[in-house]
Amino acid sequence: MKAVIQRVLKASVTIGGQKVANINSGILVLLGIVSDDSQEDIKWLSNKISNLRIFSDNDGVMNTSLLQTQGDAIVVSQFTLHASTKKGNRPSYIHAAKPDLAIPLYEAFVQQLEIDLSKKVQTGQFGADMKVEMLNDGPVTIIIDTKDKA
């Protein structure tokens, strides 16, 4: 799994002109899944994101986690995170998991993040044409790949 985590002042997801997710202070997670991702990856990544110290403490130092700030989260599926651009100029998405595998893993990740944060996590809709809007705070953008956790 690969995640792009953005600290936001606000974020929203719109599908077909209808706003389906909307948060203020928190994080926007763009999540890409490959075929060999597992429950272990889900648990590890959710824990890492929940406890990632990317919010300012009282001294203005990034030393506080989303869990501590009780901020909100939106998770959006994004298979393009696994694009290969080695050949030519048209990206290949051969490494991205197919929907029959990716959807259950995506849903399991959202459920695990809700458990870790003890709150509802908002989402986009898997496979939909989504318009994602956000105001990045900082800017702070972190990329985490579960293949690099060792």
Catalytic residue among 39, 68, 70, 80: 80
Catalytic residue among 6, 55, 78, 122: 78
Catalytic residue among 79, 109, 112, 123: 79
**Residue 109 among the catalytic residues:** no
In angstroms, rounded to a whole number, what is the distance separating the alpha carbons of residues 117 and 97?
26
- Residues paired with 34 in a beta bridge: 96
In angstroms, rounded to a whole number, what is the distance separating the alpha carbons of residues 24 and 134?
9
**Residue 80 among the catalytic residues:** yes
In angstroms, rounded to a whole number, what is the distance separating the alpha carbons of residues 43 and 20?
26
The set of catalytic residues is 78-80
